[in-house]
Amino acid sequence: MQAVRRSRGAARAGADGAADVLQPLVVVGRGLRRLAYDGRAWWEAAPQERRGPVGALVFVGVLGVYLLPYGPALAVGALLVVAGWKGRGGGVAEAPAETGPGPEELARLQSLYEALVPCFARADEPGEEPLYAHDGTYERSFEEFSFTGEGRVERLLLRYPAHFADCDAEQRQRVERVLDAKAGRGREYRFGWDEERNRLELSVLPPLPADVVAQPFVTSPGETVLGFTDEGAVPRTLPVTDGWGSRDVPPVVWRTGPRSTEPHLLVLGNPGSGASTLLRSVAVQALRHGDVLVVEGGGAGEFAFLTGRPGVPAVESSVVGALAALEWVVHETERRLLTGHRARQAGDPVPADVRRPLWVVVDRPALLSHLARAEGRRDPQELLEVPLRHGRAAHVTVVVAEQFEGAQALAQAVRAYTRARVVLGPESADQVRAVLGEGPAAAPAPQPPRGRGYARLGGGPVLRLQVPATPDPHDEETDEAQRQAVLALLPERGRPAGAARAAAQAAGPPPAGPVAAGR
């Protein structure tokens, strides 16, 4: 017995000694794993434009260490020291262990499953155990799910039967409406349909930056920032300054010019949705590299702050002034086409006044058309056909904004040539699809802030959009900080208009008072 006890004690002592020897290796291994996890998390969260410089810096550092005497040995030693420091404390610094859903979360999942049964179940579905049945459970249908700290669904990946018509927009909307209602209202959800694998992923979208004010965005000539969208939706970010400092946000950039496939823009929304805000933002950005002519059909004076600014030939709000200004735009477009054609025939460069962009901003043209018909005058929308048809070659860009109630009164030319489109406000998926040609991948917000909506440039995807705050600086209710931000972007009055004035003189006097009529 004593011999057995002595052998057991020796074995225990040997095991303890081996554990003591292996303990440093365990600590170093844990530290290396944590360093790798932190590095991968930083790399995935870093913006695209920062990864290249950091990768180059790491490469140069590794090369420099390799060339130094005893550099690799010192580097390995330093790495082991850092890993040992990082791996101390056992499992304290490990990622928190995932816990399963509680009774309340399980009840939510079962409620979601039962709500989806009428959408996916079919009486003649083959198989002994269908995915969705009135007496079934969610275990086989819901593959992945996660919850917020409040117990609300944050992400859900579910399977649906192969017989479901996932190519039918109405069937998809039915399922999305059910999930939107049962997963919790008051939030925006993204629905990712995987038709090949019969999977549907629901995820909660973070709020878009609504506190970004108009400012000089870092863009090239011919690029206009319509607003900002979700991370990962576009392969680009822009530095902006807001109430929290400077940060990088993904923009929705609209490109215009002779090589643009969507040279004109149409904005639709309800009163208070932010359509005029988007037009002011576009006009302020356009003044950096071109001239802006404004026709305001609403007559509220929301663009009066541009009157008399260099590069602004006219700001019109009356029917007579709008007709005169748009007739001048027609003549100017034809002059630019003819001058550019002659210069190319002669082998000369196109004159600068022809290449300088001219922006025609029209707010609520349907109301102007109604007033013109009441006075027996020509429809102002008829004059938009020439700049819309030939504007891309003549460096003329047309931006039109209208309310949904007047959308049916838009001219055919406006509908046909505005391939860049924006929908603002709390609109249904059917209205968004009717304007953009494709439904949004995210459910509309129930009470969106001003300037929130969707944008689609040509045949691209439908993107969520938040327009930068660009209020009327003459409005008494405008915040002082936002007022100063808009005024800082405008050219000072009294300076020469430059190429815009030269172009107007070269084209001759415009028809009967295009500037004075609206003032």
**Tens of pLDDT, residues 213-264:** 999 999 999 999 999 999 888 999 999 988 777 889 999 999 998 889 999 9
Is residue 100 annotated as involved in ligand binding? no
**Residue 305, pLDDT above cutoff 50:** yes
Is residue 272 annotated as involved in ligand binding? yes
**Using CA atoms, how far apart are residues 470 and 486, in angstroms rounded to an integer?**
7
Is residue 273 annotated as involved in ligand binding? yes
**Using CA atoms, how far apart are residues 337 and 211, in angstroms rounded to an integer?**
42
Residue pLDDT, tens place only, 426-478: 877 788 888 998 888 877 777 788 999 999 999 899 999 999 999 999 998 88
Residue 68 confidence (pLDDT): 75
Cα–Cα distances (Å) from 94 to 37, 142, 158, 323, 420, in that order, read: 10, 28, 30, 70, 49
Opening angle at CA 427, ends 422 and 431, nearest 5: 75
Is residue 271 annotated as involved in ligand binding? yes
User: Which domains can be identified in the chain, with CATH numbers?
Assistant: 20-41+55-86 (no CATH), 105-204 (no CATH), 223-518 (3.40.50.300)
Residue 127 confidence (pLDDT): 62
Residue 149 confidence (pLDDT): 80
Considering the chain, what percentage of its residues have pLDDT values greater than 70?
85
Opening angle at CA 441, ends 440 and 443, nearest 5: 75
Is residue 275 annotated as involved in ligand binding? yes
Q: Buried (b) or exposed (e) across 303-326, using 16+ Cβ within 10 A?
A: bbbbbebbbbbbbbbbbbbbbbbb
Is residue 161 annotated as involved in ligand binding? no
DSSP code, position 371 = H
**Using CA atoms, how far apart are residues 397 and 411, in angstroms rounded to an integer?**
17
Q: What is the band of 494 on the pLDDT scale with cuts at 50, 70, 90?
A: low
Is residue 511 annotated as involved in ligand binding? no
**Using CA atoms, how far apart are residues 453 and 242, in angstroms rounded to an integer?**
20
Is residue 270 annotated as involved in ligand binding? yes
User: Is-contact 410 366, C-beta < 8 A?
Assistant: yes
Nearest residue to 303 (alpha-carbon basis) of 364, 391, 353, 372: 364
Place of tokens 């009774």: 103
Torsion over CA: 233, 237, 243, 246 (sign): positive
